[in-house]
Structure 1
Amino acid sequence: MGTSPFTVERLLQLPVFRQAKVMAGQEGLSKEIYYTDCMETPDLTGFLRPNELILTTGYSFRHEPMMLCRLLDEMHRVGGSAVGIKARRFIQEVPPEALQKSNLYGIPLFDIPLEMPFIDMTHAVMDQILDRQAFMLREVREVNQQFTNLVLNRRTTELVVLVGHLLACEAAVLNQEEEIEQCTSSFSKAEIAEKRAIQIGSRITGYLAISRELKERDRFEQMCLDHAVTVLAIEFTIRQSQQLQREREQESFLVELFSGSSHQEELLRYRAKQLGISLRQFHYAIVMRVDRKSGLDNEQLTLLSNQLLHKVNKPGLHAHKGVVINDSLIVLCSSTYEEADKQREEAEALIAELTTPAEDLPSDLQLFAGIGRVRQLLSDVPFSCQEAQKAISIGQQTLPKQRIVHFHEILVEDLLLDSAGHPVLSMLTSMLIEPIVTYDREYGTELMATLSAFLRSGGNTKRVAEEMFIHRNSVLYRLERIGGILQTDLNDPEVRFRLDVAMRVWKTQEVDILSIL
């Protein structure tokens, strides 16, 4: 039989049907036949199938020939192929309306010789159908073997070209975001006519798209497309397994890097290159934490941190690779800049991307970030990581309104923490800060906040008033009150310096030093 489909025209060329005469519906002679059945029942609905050949003597509608029209209506509805009737057995004349519908629907209506038994006709038809199906199965099995070999040898591009050749169209493999991964030379997303999901379990991992819409009659093409989708699921499974392995290796590398357990520069660079981690001239660490006021419990914090990690490590952000350690997201950054301002810009861009509203993230997500200084050697990155941890821990106490704190901004606080407990520092806070705190607590005032703003602004009372949303006269009154409590002149540079040191020591009292060592 070869590759030719079994059509109504080929049916009429079989010896048992050579005496059959086509009465109407010649335009449907090219319809393919998948099934055959003998119908002698008056109930026409629910039994017919697409591409089915119906053979009948007309017995069920001998008293009502117009039922032949109903049969043709139902055949048209389901997509039937043809009707063969022994017209001179029980009905002497086919109604003209039936001939008209046969022509209208393109469903051939042919007269079967009276002497030909149905068993001979159905046997001949089934031989042809089974032969055709066996041929198709052999062809599809060979195609499937080619598909499988191409996938196992990681030649996905050739598989896509083969799909396009078999289906006589353009084809492409798309990823989850429906971006083109491989495609035939003239493929265009605008011309996609059909798209099949590539699934691993219940999760869609990609799509196979083609520029031609397959019809129900395109059985071979449908089977080829189904097999292509199946083997592409194997390809995506292999990719997923490799990606998970690489992620585990990247995580192990970053944990070792940030902990400082490996100091061999050449080995670190070699491993980073093997893991696809981009290395530029300078390297530094960013430590990010979710706002403690978010109200999330530990389990939710862990889940959220992992979601943020997935966004940091997604393909494309090669200059950023992160790892979650103790609910902190620590990111290794590579840059061509060493200026702190450029580091801040890069950190702001990364945080803006991470906090972009998404279905899997809280709408009010707030992140704090600490930035360590740049280093040229990868082996020195642990020091940048420590600085980033200090920046975020100290910054949340001393600069609570800032979401991003660079280590350069807390250099003095870091120095004072190293001297924590020194008697001179204790004496300064006792003399200059505790009296103000006690006064605020007793009278419900905001002298401490006013003094802090005054010292940060370099004594600019106008800026203090704007920051605290009060009148400048109120600022002057509060400063006068503070001077009276401390029995000192706030305009004296030496006094202001001591107040600034004492204020910084006071603010860093709540910093957990052990957590950043």
Structure 2
Amino acid sequence: MARQNGVTIEDILKMDCMKNCKLIAGYSGIKNVVSRVNIMADPDILNWVSEGEFLLTTAHALTADVEFQKKFILSCSQKKLSGLGIKIYPYLEKLDDEVIELAENLSFPIIELYYLTPFSEIMTPIFKEIFNKQTILLQRLEKVHEDMMNIMLKGGSIEDIINVVYENVKNPVILKLNYPEKTIFKIDMLEENIREKIKKNFDEFYLKSKEKISEKRFYETVEKISGKNITRMVMPIVVKEMVYGHIFSWAVITPLGGFDLSVLEIAATTMAVEILKLLSLRESENVHKIEFVEDLCSTDEKRLARAISNLSIYNFKEDDFYCYLIIKIRRNYKKFDFNFISDSVYLLNLLEDILHKNNINGIVVGKKDQIDILLCFKKDENFRKKINFFKDEVLDIFNKKIFIEYMVGFGRCYKGVENIKASFKEAQKAIKAIDILKERNVVFYENLGIYKLLCSDEIADELKDFYKTTIEALEDYDRKKSTEFVKTLKAYFECNGNLKKMSEVLYTHYNTILYRLQRIKQITGLDVEKENDRISLHLALKIKDIIK
């Protein structure tokens, strides 16, 4: 919409200068806002008009050609002029019915001007009224800005800001913030059935307009609510080029205009400053948390001692039980939702809420593409049950709120601060194993089985040597001859040695499977029919995944 304030066509019709004039078409457009007045000397003026102008002319300038008149009215509507004032007499008896009908369909007001009233006597009072109204509106906006600044300076809340918005737009208002996560409804003045439909319309914006959610632009639409067309304004709250929420308002009680748009803009800017302050505070806290956790996991005695001296800050004790887990965020997002939030702040906030709501002691640390969480339990707590519950809550976040690819690795729970680094290393190995296993995105180190050994850095060289002496030659052969022996060997173990099932899985004849197994034996020197050789080949395939 035009970011202008002025008077409506309805207001102009009530002015003394229009007492002998009458509205002859486009009645449903009488709420159009007039921001300025212009006079048409010839039809080319449409190349220079602006949105919101009220255009004055005579029927002489339109000629008697009906098609030309219709084309002109259509162009005025498309240019978003507020209306047209025409001196019809003495140039024409009246406008053609087709022209009137078109203006009605376009909701474009046409006022028949009294032929003896000079244009100057119409323009001057309208300009004066526009100026007076804009002055009043500027004073009101200055008051709105002053009220919001006072709220910030006095340490007021976001709820206080929304109250100012509501008091000024005099229509239902809803605020949706992703950080800090909250939704504020100011719709109590409505009847219950209208309240529910406003809420539904609010929800549909996030369900049906997903491509709009992360766009940094204002939206004004006409919504169908209770059978009526109601204007809805949606103002984004933008911080660091990211959208952190929206302010909604619906023209249920009074029309929404330029003043209301300005109020929403001021409120969005004020909230953005408040959010930026919170983000800066969180960033500072996160830096201290990173240093604290890294000191706890350090082999340096001085760093560990420094961390132990700060345990009480986080309500930790030296002989508590600790579990370290890592959440790894993949950059190939499946959906756009995560783009809402800069530097994973939204996710960090959700994870901290889980800890707080479920009375679990711990700290959440944000790193690049990764979130580290240290959980702390007292000796009388059922930490296994709480860890599993926390895991389920984390999965709900990714499945219902933030649809991105992720991996979660859990270390074991250990007693004593000195063993936190052991849990940390296990969480790292669990994450590494997820990349190898590829069949799940949450792994507990204690459930890794043989991968506990295979993911150990201490035997990395031995694993490479084992791979080279087992199936490296088979991979080289496949690469040079375009065969599928490694794929066949993998299918052998996946099918538990069932050759018939292998032929179905590989879409290959049974005899071809027998031939391939024989060739694998010849190339590697290992026979799947022998137990030790079979174990070596199976292990070599797992090591191949780790190395590759």
TM-score > 0.5, shorter chain as reference: yes
SS at match of 1:235: helix
**What is the one-letter code of the residue matched to 2:445?**
V
The one of 327, 331, 347 equivalent to 2:373 is 331
Runs of 4+ in 1 over 6 A off after TM superposition: 213-217, 306-310, 324-329, 353-361, 390-397, 474-477
Give me the whole-angstrom Cα distance separating, in 1, the residues matched to 2:181 and 2:76. 42
Aligned residues of 1:322 and 1:329 also touching (Cα < 8 A): yes
Q: Give the Cα–Cα distance (whole angstroms) in 1 for the partners of residues 428 and 14 of structure 2.
A: 86
1:238 — aligned with what?
A: 277
Q: Paired residue for 1:404, among 436, 444, 456?
A: 444
Q: CA deviation at 1:53?
A: 1.9
Q: Distance in 2 between matches of 1:340 and 1:405?
A: 16
Report what 2:22 is aligned to.
22
Partner deviation per Cα, 1:453-487 (whole Å, 9 max, x = no partner):
xxxxxxxxxxxxx999579xx999859xxxxxxxx
Q: Distance in 2 between matches of 1:311 and 1:284?
A: 22
| 2:364–2:373 contact (8 Å) kept in structure 1 | yes
Aligned to 1:38: 39
Counterpart for residue 323 of structure 2: 285
Contact 1:372–1:386 (CA under 8 A) maintained in structure 2: no
Matches of 2:469 and 2:103 in 1, distance apart? 98
Q: CA deviation at 1:12?
A: 4.6
Deviation at residue 354 of structure 1 after TM alignment: 9.6
Alignment equivalent of 1:268, drawn from 311, 314, 317: 311
Contact 1:7-1:31 at 8 Å conserved across structures: yes
Identify which range, 144-153 or 230-239, moves more after superposition. Answer: 144-153
Contact 1:42 1:60 in 2 (8 A): yes
- 1:320-356 C-alpha deviation (Å, 9 max, x unpaired): 4355899997631134665675477468658867997
Structure 1 contact 7–33 (Cα < 8 Å) conserved: yes
Query: Match of 1:131?
Result: 132
Shift of 1:392: 7.1
Aligned to 1:183: 185
Deviation at 1:167, TM superposition (A): 2.2
Give the aligned residue type for 1:268.
L
Report the AA paired with residue 265 of structure 2: D
Q: Which runs of 5+ in 1 are unaligned?
A: 295-305, 414-419, 421-436, 445-465, 480-517
Three-state SS of the structure 2 residue aligned to 1:261 is helix
Q: Which amino acid aligns with 1:141?
A: E
Which residue of structure 1 aligns with residue 147 of structure 2?
146
Find the structure with the greater CA-based Rg.
1
Q: Is the 8 A contact 1:38 1:56 kept in 2?
A: yes
Structure 1 residue 316 corresponds to structure 2 residue 358? no
Letter in 2 for 1:190: K
- Distance (whole Å) between structure 2 residues aligned to residue 225 and residue 133 of structure 1: 17
Q: Is the 8 A contact 1:285 1:381 kept in 2?
A: no
Contact 2:237 2:272 in 1 (8 A): yes
What is the alpha-carbon distance in structure 2 between the residues aligned to residue 220 and residue 80 of structure 1? 19
When structure 1 is superposed on structure 2, of 380-389 and 195-204 the one drifting more is: 380-389
Q: Equivalent residue of 1:316, what SS?
A: helix
Instruction: Return the alpha-carbon distance in structure 2 between the equivalents of residues 383 and 112 of structure 1.
Output: 93
Whole-Å separation in 2 of the counterparts to 1:229 and 1:403 = 42
Mark the CA change 1:65 to 1:86 in structure 2 (over 3 Å): closer, same or farther. Answer: farther
In structure 2, what residue type is equivalent to 1:174?
K
Partner of 2:114: 112
Q: CA distance change for structure 1 residues 217 and 50 in 2, over 3 Å: closer, same or farther? A: farther
Moved more, 145-154 or 239-248: 145-154
Instruction: Write the distance in 1 (CA, Å) between the matches of 2:200 and 2:134.
Output: 35
Change (3 A) 1:312 1:284: farther
Distance 1:308 1:478, change over 3 A: farther
Letter in 2 for 1:331: I
* TM-superposed deviation, 1:136: 1.2
Structure-2 residue corresponding to 1:196: 235
Is residue 168 of structure 1 aligned with residue 170 of structure 2? yes
Aligned equivalent of 1:210: 249
- Alpha-carbon distance in structure 1 between the residues aligned to 2:345 and 2:35: 54
In structure 2, relative to structure 1, the CA distance for the partners of 1:353 and 1:359 (3 Å cut) is closer
Note if contact 1:11-1:17 (Cα within 8 Å) is conserved in structure 2. yes
* 1:145-193 residue CA offsets vs partner (Å, 9 max, x unmatched): 2123224423210211222232233323222389643332647642424
1:379-394 maps to which residues of 2 (within 5 A)?
380-386=416-422, 389=425
TM-score scaled by length of structure 1: 0.59
Change (3 A) 1:223 1:237: same
Which amino acid is the alignment partner of residue 72 of structure 1? I
Show CA shifts across 1:383-441 (max 9, x none).
Answer: 343465479779999xx99953349x99xx9xxxxxx9xxxxxxxxxxxxxxxx99x97
Give, in angstroms, the shift of residue 125 of structure 1: 2.1
Cα deviation digits, residues 350-396 of structure 1 (max 9, x gap): 886799799997x6x766543142x4xxxx32334346547977999
Give ranges in structure 2 of 5+ residues lacking alignment: 189-194, 203-231, 299-303, 331-341, 459-464, 473-492, 499-526, 533-548
Relative distance call for 1:253 and 1:125 in structure 2 (3 A) is same
Report deviation, 1:38: 0.6
Aligned residue for 1:503?
none
Percent sequence identity over aligned pairs? 14
The residue identity in structure 2 corresponding to 1:165 is: E
Contact persistence 1:285–1:330 (CA under 8 A): no
Q: Matched residues in 2 for 1:309 and 1:7: separation?
A: 45
